[in-house]
Structure 1
Amino acid sequence: MSMLTHTDDQGRASMVDVGEKDITRREAKAEGYITMNPETLALVAENGLKKGDVLAVARIAGIQAAKQCSHLVPLCHPLMLNFIGVEFQLEKDKNRIRIETCCRLSGKTGVEIEALTAASVAALTIYDMCKAVDKTMSIEGIRVLEKSGGRSGHYQAVDDGR
């Protein structure tokens, strides 16, 4: 296993110096799920909640979150993202919404944290907009699906049938 990159020789938190890295095209995809009662999922699908279009608001929240990563995660570099995508799949057979995010840039550091943050905040927004009708919701399975670019190369998560 490799050494942690965000600590110095004394084990103190430290921001990674990416100044000497090459600029490459980098992309990361992440996913997460929010499970809810079937009636709640139907309300989301029918746009029947008083707070408005849940998925439209969650998409915007995810995009905003990816852009704010360096303000939320202490050692995260501020990045000039070229693309942020947030998509939803209503999985009625599992009473949940699958969230998939994608972040891209040409830069010196990866975008995994941005993709993960977008998925997390999109899920939190769905929770917030639905909590008045469903207190039993759960957020789970937030993970990196794939990343490319940079020295560490390509990574793809194993399909575990979630």
Structure 2
Amino acid sequence: MVHVPYRGQAPTTLAIFAGEVDILLTTTSDTLNEHIRSGKVKLLGVSSPGPSPVAPGAASIGSALKGYSVETWFGILAPAGTPPDVLAKLNAALGTVLAMPQIRDRFLSYGVEAKASTPAELHALIAAEIPSWRKVIEERNVKTE
């Protein structure tokens, strides 16, 4: 297998549609999900540690490779020094919106499982991921362009 570094998701997605590559590891998108649903592209697995509501019935790579988990996440950040009461109000509003079934369903249709968390949980997630990604970057001698 040969690694082909594409510059972003759009060229990667086009490469699988054009038959330039036989397999790809990428995040989901509305376009890609449409082709998965139509059968033009086959989903081989999800990179979450267990089953995903984004791809019901898809195999979890983590179930075959013990400890494997690479999940994309989105965080909403505020400037340093934002008052705690403002952060709490924003977080509560976000939690309310993400709990709405129509919002959850819309995100799922785009291939995203929307989950609310607290500022402390997001901070802990970021802190936990830094060492593992640092190790990958250093071991593979990854350089930015």
Q: TM-score, normalised by structure 2?
A: 0.31
| Bigger helix fraction | 2
Higher relative contact order at CA 8 Å, sep ≥6: structure 1 or structure 2?
1
| Bigger strand fraction | 1
Q: TM-score, normalised by structure 1?
A: 0.28
